[in-house]
Structure 1
Amino acid sequence: MEIQTKKGRKWLKVTGIIILLVFVAAGVYGYMVYHSLKEAVVTMHQPVKRTVPEKREQPVALEKKEPFSVLMLGVDERKGDKGRSDTIIVLAVNPNTNSVKMLSIPRDTRTEIVGKGKEDKINHAYAFGGIPMSMATVEEFLDIPIDYYMQINMEGFQDIVDAVGGVKVYNDFDFSEGDSHFPIGEINLNGEQALSFSRMRYEDPRGDFGRQLRQRQIIEGVIDEGMSLSSLTKFSSIFNAIGKNIKTNLTFDQMVDIQKNYKDAGKSIQQMEIKETGKLINKIYYGLVSPEEKTRIQTELKKQLELQ
């Protein structure tokens, strides 16, 4: 009996040591993840100066779980050319309903370019005045505050997709682009394939609307993979890819608040689309949005941001 008791105590000690080592390892791992993320955010962080009155009197209080908006701009920057924001997506995040509204704005949408005093294609705002003019123009177009921005280098976006291990999407239109063929159904895409998948629009009878749908699918796929447990083992490559290819005015502390207070909202992403009528004006193609359609979009976003 005494021998069994000693053996029991010995195993208890061994078990205790193993549990302690697991906790230490988890702590070291958590420390590494924390500091890798912090380094990436320092590289990403790029404050923006707003030159026009904003639609919020006070900044969003993330620690109080207030709804907020993000303008995502996918930019192809070439040497000697500032580039245009060919991908324009607005995210309206509400932690109280645990949902995200994701709106794609077609790049040919005709609207007032704030700061230029004229109407033009909405994606020209970036070429004219960079991030500040893009934020102000989208803010005026949607009549909602744009709290944060994320500028994504589209050429480097494939690195982010590869870093999370690829993405899974459902393709509703059979087509080929470059060296890749995309059949109808659920498909797995690596970074290069995801970039081709999200860029094609000429073969799609829906034109830019079909392209927007595919872009939103890729973004949702990256979010899903990034939130999965398997991505924890890839944190170094993920943070490295993000740091190189994304710029944002979000600080590290704000990102921590978002992760803590808003993480459940990412589980319900609802896509929105703008209905437009194509028209040639002075031989240039534009997408025209009716007053009724603009009101519909604005109302839905204001409700999501609890501005009504």
Structure 2
Amino acid sequence: MEKKLDLDQVREDEGKGVDYTKRKSHRRRKKKKVWKIALTVLSVLALLVCVGFASFVVLQKTGKSSLMKYAGTEQMTMKNTEESGLVSKNGKKYKYNENVITLLCMGIDKDSTSWEETGYIGENGQADAIFLLALNPDAGSLDIIGISRDTMTEIATYDKQGNYVGESVNHLALAFSYGKTKEEGAELVKTAVSKLFYNLPVHGYAAIDWDALGKINDSVGGVEVTFNEEVVLNGETFAGGEKMRLTGEQAKSFVRQRGDEIGSNNKRMQRQKIYAAAFIGAAKNAVLENPLLVSDMYKELSGDMVTSMGVDEAVYLASLLPSMRFSLDDIQMIEGEVKEGTVYEEFYADEDKLMNLILDIFYYEVY
């Protein structure tokens, strides 16, 4: 519809003079310029969002493929394994579930100021906390297995010059210390854990120092836990049953401290179990709010972490997390017996219970 000319407005403008008319025209041009700038900014932001989303999708796809390749092709060596690969137990047959993604997470007893590679055996720290994660995308489940650092098992042993001297039955935590580099140490723990679990394929590992834990804790907005016993965090005492949102420094103290009495590491592992369950819940919410959180943290932790996984694999795993069912009951500790060793306490896994745990998480019943 054709717009009518407002003669009264024209006469009014003419009466105000040429300068007014020029100023009004300039204001129109200025408004158009502002709108053009706004549209340009919005277009650039939309493009960045699209590029970010496209990159996220690409990282998801490549990450899944990379994880599966890393695990290798070595066969499981469970007892009562038939030539077909099926495992017989209590009159039932079980088959290994190749879709389960297994990750090894290690906390190294160093902070960022002391975790420097020297190239010498025994100076890169020990694996103080060891957890095996099993993600089943088909079932939408996440299981975590806590492994005592004092577990007596076969580990590769080296002399001070780095020469291999054979396998020895020793504390699992020491495996890390036999690496000349952080990567070598992490690989040695991964190999030892895989053997302990009858050559279970491990698709990736991440080893972090204690400073990294504080950063990760704060990246999800802190982690709320309920204390299972009286604890002292950075000099302050809290009663059992008390609920608290931990800061990074408090989280480090909560999962790291232990006493000198026999069985003290098992008590610490119970605190680590409580923290892990609460952290997973907080992380699921944080990733839903910001899908790029994992890639951002991956870069920030570069100096406090060594991992076999690239950012694409980390992004893929993070994309699975929000849909995973998880509760405190999904964290299980290897059962066994704690004995007082010559110098340090020793933990011996119950072989039959360990086998049942492996069948329950990593296998499925065929018939």
TM-score exceeds 0.5:
yes
Say if 2:353 is the partner of 1:293.
Answer: yes
Name the counterpart of 2:173. Answer: 123
Tell me how far apart the structure 1 counterparts of residues 143 and 341 of structure 2 sit (CA, whole Å): 32
Q: How many residues align?
A: 273
The alpha-carbon distance between structure 1 residues 31 and 94, as it changes in their structure 2 partners (threshold 3 A), is same
Name the counterpart of 1:186. Answer: 243
Tell me how far apart the structure 1 counterparts of residues 45 and 282 of structure 2 sit (CA, whole Å): 24
Moved more, 187-196 or 166-175: 166-175
Question: Are the aligned partners of 1:177 and 1:200 in contact in 2 as well (CA < 8 Å)?
Answer: no
The alpha-carbon distance between structure 1 residues 283 and 153, as it changes in their structure 2 partners (threshold 3 A), is closer
Q: Residue 279 of structure 1: CA displacement?
A: 1.7
SS in 2 for 1:97: coil
Tell me how far apart the structure 2 counterparts of residues 284 and 258 of structure 1 sit (CA, whole Å): 37
Q: Residue 30 of structure 1: CA displacement?
A: 6.5
Name the counterpart of 1:146. Answer: 202
What amino acid is the match of 2:246? L
Q: 2:106 aligns with which of 59, 73, 83?
A: 73
Using structure 2 for the length normalisation, give the TM-score: 0.62
Identity of aligned residues (%): 21
The alpha-carbon distance between structure 1 residues 264 and 35, as it changes in their structure 2 partners (threshold 3 A), is closer
Tell me how far apart the structure 1 counterparts of residues 353 and 42 of structure 2 sit (CA, whole Å): 56
Tell me how far apart the structure 1 counterparts of residues 188 and 289 of structure 2 sit (CA, whole Å): 35
Kindly indicate which of the two structures has a greater share of residues assigned to helix: 1
Name the counterpart of 2:290. Answer: 232
Question: Are the aligned partners of 1:72 and 1:90 in contact in 2 as well (CA < 8 Å)?
Answer: yes
The alpha-carbon distance between structure 1 residues 26 and 99, as it changes in their structure 2 partners (threshold 3 A), is farther
Tell me how far apart the structure 2 counterparts of residues 176 and 213 of structure 1 sit (CA, whole Å): 15
What amino acid is the match of 1:181? T
The alpha-carbon distance between structure 1 residues 23 and 92, as it changes in their structure 2 partners (threshold 3 A), is farther
Aligned Cα RMSD in Å?
3.9
Moved more, 216-225 or 154-163: 216-225
Name the counterpart of 1:7. Answer: none
Say if 2:150 is the partner of 1:108.
Answer: yes
Unaligned runs of 5+ in 2: 4-37, 59-66, 77-97, 158-165, 180-184
Name the counterpart of 1:12. Answer: none
Question: Are the aligned partners of 2:277 and 2:331 in contact in 1 as well (CA < 8 Å)?
Answer: no
Unaligned runs of 5+ in 1: 4-17, 39-46, 57-64
Tell me how far apart the structure 2 counterparts of residues 95 and 233 of structure 1 sit (CA, whole Å): 18
Using structure 1 for the length normalisation, give the TM-score: 0.73
What amino acid is the match of 1:213? Q
